[in-house]
Structure 1
Amino acid sequence: MSKQPHVLVIPYPAQGHVAPLLKLATKIAEHGIKVTFVNTEFIEAKVMASIPEKAEGWSLIKFVSISDGIERDDDRKDFDKTRNTMLRVMPGNLKDLIEKINQSSDCEQITCVIADISVRWALEVAQNLGVSRAAFIPYGPENLALSFHVTKMIEDGILDSNGNPMNDGLISISEGTLPWKRNEICWSCRGNEKMQKILFESICAVVQFVNISNWVLSNSFYELDPSSCDLVPNILPIGPLLASNNSRHLAGSLRPEDSTCLSWLDKQSIGSVIYVSLGSTATLNQQQFEELALGLESSSQPFLWVVRSDLVDGSLTGFPDGFKERITGRGKIVEWAAQEKVLAHPSVACFVSHCGWNSTLEGLSMGVPFLCWPYFVDQYQNRNYICEAWKIGLNLCPDGNGIVTRHEIQTKVTKLLSDEGIKRNALKLKETAINSLVEGGSSFENFERFIVEMKSS
């Protein structure tokens, strides 16, 4: 008799990585497969604190945690230090966890590890233990396809050995894919060579770990970017991974969600609200923060604005004088929102977004047009797809000082809300996204294939 499948899922410890993998884990568990979800101790505390007590998905998954080796007093914003500590400590901790589970009972043994490609060492741990492996790609297929072309681009003199473009032209990997601008490649970090080196080395390493995986799971759907998908061997687009259509799915938020914004949306006119959320890591300086506030005010539209406590560099010194009083009743400000539910609400007219991949998929799956404000890594190319390839949004352009002005915000809001072509494109893409998830759809079929193969491996 073959062993019952038992899947161990491990995300990179950050909001944009935990959320899609928790949605995937819930979806797998609904197929009667035992799932153990591994967070770091630091992240697990945040996830547990944010999950509603009565969330249906809670009972489907077993949550466990391992140490990331980072001390309580250490600065977790020191990316290089925390990364090196995790690389030194976590592979051994994961190996110990898997061995402990495997020794506990024959029917409990881990049969497959699904690991975020950003914790690719977990795939190596699984390989060494003789366990099947699925690499999960939390970003768009175009950046995964780019990884497969880096070596050749260096050989052809398009990039130097550090990933810097050798000329000012566009960088293209195929006729069907959107080319990159030289300063918008996913490892580009203007003014931060150390970070760029880390990101470039990570992108280069992706191919090796994809190649040792039995499956490559992409949080996308084939019809969204077929040319990029065709460039990646064995890719299985199974997205968009969404929670809003199923109450059993856990959202994977690392912050408590303010549910009052949903009842506030109920009181607004259909298609009137500007929803503003720049993700979990983007920061603004005080001047830019104030310009955004005044731009929203001058738009004359109702708006829902997610203002994290760490949104402003340093600390928030306050909103513009009299701003909160002037927008009373028209503007709603929250620390964090249930984003999928917000985007699905009929009152929402557009999404001012940093264009992170999760936000991009959620927005287009709900048929919401975008105002794009990318911050770093893959977000610039996601913006280009939104505006140029799919034509479902407009770009917010900084001025000569790098500031997106209140006038730019007001102008683009007005232009977007009157653009019927963009609205039509957004609704059409929503239909394509949803169709991919229903029986017979591309993502539905790919997911079913993965389940069948995993059960028989």
Structure 2
Amino acid sequence: MSRPHVLVMPAPAQGHIIPLLEFSQCLANHGIRVTFVITDYDHKRVVESLEGKNDLVEQTHLVSIPDGMEPWEDRNDLGKLIEKVLQVMPGKLEELIEEINSREDEKLDCFIADGYMAWSMEVAKKMNVRGALFWPSSAASVALLFHIPKLIDDGIIDSHGTPMSKQMFRIAPNMPEMNSRDCFWAHIGDLTTQKIFFDLLDRNTRAMTAIKFQLCHSTYELESEAFTTFPELLPIGPLLASNRLGNTAGHFWREDSSCLEWLDQQQPSSVIYAAFGSFTILDQVQFQELALGLELCNRPFLWVVRPDITTDANDRYPEGFQERVAARGRMIGWAPQQKVLNHPSIACFLSHCGWNSTMEGVSNGIPFLCWPYFAEQFLNERYICDIWKVGLKFDRDESGIITREEIKNKVDQVLGNQDFKARALELKEKAMSSVREGGSSYKTFQNFLQWVKTNALAHNSPVTGG
């Protein structure tokens, strides 16, 4: 009998591609044939970043379909991207499934979609392929999504997701208190974009009926209350390349691994690691204030400065900054982040609190300094600071700027209080225990594997729901 064959599709963003690609590689290591479908635009960037040094292509077959946008169009315009994706990708996905299933020895046994692409379950059902969902975000953000009807009934948001007023609420007693204006869809572009995204969430929710497996890149130990609130959600994290002794893939930029040699030369627990993911953009004033704040800390630092991180690519650094920090500061375009966070010289993680970064920091026992920018990052910050108590948030001045003095103050607080490190190490043990044999995430993965293999054996049986 041929190996079970699954098709995996993430949302078109780096923070979604990386965990779904990691999950795919775990499946491949357990005898599953994986076809991984991303957009043409993302496919080009992912392949270029690999530099031929990763065994990904051997294990996971990468294919691509159009996202509906022209190559030069701005994919940070999420409203336009969502509209184009919904116009073009369902038809292209259907064509791809039809093409795969036309080859007798390659017929699909399962389709795994990103939870934020759950509309694709409509296509899978039409094509008679069993479906499963993978949520690359926190369990709390998924629980919030399914709490939307109650938020509308309680008058906290309207039917378009817009906050009716500034109100505080909790989804469950032991989850963080939230501001209605911090719901993740309220931090995505302008009001028009927010409405488009909110409508997408509604369509996704309706497409999820009768899905047997909804997997979440988190652990029961980190978010027990959220998983209890939404019991259909099953923990399967943390998914780290180090767990399978491999390399991460799915990045949009080439990693600068020379920073690892630089870290080797630093003292243990001495380096501030600052990285803001693939989406954060800082205006020139804030960018320079951050630079001066890192300088003011007078500690070694490794700072990931994407080519497009600031609104002004010319003379981005303060005058003389690079010369003054040359002996203890290192700026790079992109980092092998999991390996950086696992390095003994790292003292703390100045982060945008994206969920991948949050899971990677937690899994390595690193305290956080939180600088959220977008979507559910504000909710993740609340977990880091208020629930797990392994980090601090920055306060902004009256102009909305995080000042250099505020950066130094919070760095000194986090590194001057060993309780943050102690709690971070406790949290690391909780997170990593879940993927060991007998842990909650380990059991979810084994159950899912068995389900896929059983479906493969009964491939010709009729599909009824999930």
Which TM bucket (shorter chain)? over 0.9
Aligned-partner residue type, residue 190 of structure 2: N
Task: Tell me, yes or no, if the aligned pair for 1:51 and 1:250 is still in contact at 8 Å.
Answer: no
* Cα drift, residue 314 of structure 1: 4.2
Partner of 2:350: 352
Q: Secondary structure of 2:120's match?
A: helix
Q: Secondary structure of 1:244's match?
A: helix
- d(CA) in 1 for partners of 2:352, 2:292: 19
Partner of 2:133: 135
Task: Tell me, yes or no, if the aligned pair for 2:188 and 2:374 is still in contact at 8 Å.
Answer: no
Partner of 1:28: 27
* Cα drift, residue 234 of structure 1: 2.0
Task: Tell me, yes or no, if the aligned pair for 1:210 and 1:216 is still in contact at 8 Å.
Answer: no
* Cα drift, residue 365 of structure 1: 0.4
- d(CA) in 2 for partners of 1:191, 1:303: 31
* Cα drift, residue 210 of structure 1: 3.0
How has the CA–CA distance of structure 1 residues 148 and 82 changed in structure 2, closer, same or farther, with 3 Å as cutoff? closer
* Cα drift, residue 202 of structure 1: 3.1
- d(CA) in 1 for partners of 2:150, 2:449: 34
- d(CA) in 1 for partners of 2:352, 2:44: 26
Aligned-partner residue type, residue 398 of structure 1: R
Q: How do 1:57-206 residues align onto structure 2 when only pairs under 5 Å count?
A: 57-105=56-104, 107-189=105-187, 192-206=190-204
* Cα drift, residue 165 of structure 1: 3.3
* Cα drift, residue 352 of structure 1: 0.4
Task: Tell me, yes or no, if the aligned pair for 1:283 and 1:311 is still in contact at 8 Å.
Answer: yes
Aligned-partner residue type, residue 303 of structure 1: F
Partner of 2:332: 334
Task: Tell me, yes or no, if the aligned pair for 1:221 and 1:238 is still in contact at 8 Å.
Answer: yes
Q: Secondary structure of 1:69's match?
A: coil
Aligned-partner residue type, residue 218 of structure 2: S
- d(CA) in 2 for partners of 1:287, 1:354: 18
Partner of 2:369: 371
How has the CA–CA distance of structure 1 residues 29 and 191 changed in structure 2, closer, same or farther, with 3 Å as cutoff? closer
Of 195-204 and 123-132, more deviation after overlay is shown by: 195-204
- d(CA) in 2 for partners of 1:127, 1:95: 10
* Cα drift, residue 135 of structure 1: 0.9
Of 266-275 and 204-213, more deviation after overlay is shown by: 204-213
Of 246-255 and 325-334, more deviation after overlay is shown by: 246-255
Residues 398-444 of structure 1 deviation map (CA, whole Å, 9 limit, x = unaligned): 11101000000011111110111111110000011111111011100
* Cα drift, residue 159 of structure 1: 2.4
- d(CA) in 2 for partners of 1:227, 1:189: 24
Task: Tell me, yes or no, if the aligned pair for 1:26 and 1:250 is still in contact at 8 Å.
Answer: no
Aligned-partner residue type, residue 355 of structure 1: C
Q: Secondary structure of 2:319's match?
A: coil
Residues 284-343 of structure 1 deviation map (CA, whole Å, 9 limit, x = unaligned): 111111110000001010000000111002434321111111111200000000000000
Task: Tell me, yes or no, if the aligned pair for 1:41 and 1:66 is still in contact at 8 Å.
Answer: yes
- RMSD of the alignment, in Å? 1.6
Whether 2:47 is the aligned partner of 1:48: answer: yes
* Cα drift, residue 195 of structure 1: 2.0
Task: Tell me, yes or no, if the aligned pair for 1:293 and 1:320 is still in contact at 8 Å.
Answer: yes
* Cα drift, residue 385 of structure 1: 0.5
Of 7-16 and 163-172, more deviation after overlay is shown by: 163-172
- d(CA) in 1 for partners of 2:189, 2:263: 41
TM-score of the aligned structures, taking structure 2 as reference length: 0.94
Q: Secondary structure of 1:230's match?
A: helix
Partner of 2:454: 456
How many positions carry a matched residue from both structures? 455
Aligned-partner residue type, residue 12 of structure 2: P
Q: Secondary structure of 1:55's match?
A: coil
* Cα drift, residue 130 of structure 1: 1.2
* Cα drift, residue 268 of structure 1: 0.3
* Cα drift, residue 205 of structure 1: 3.6
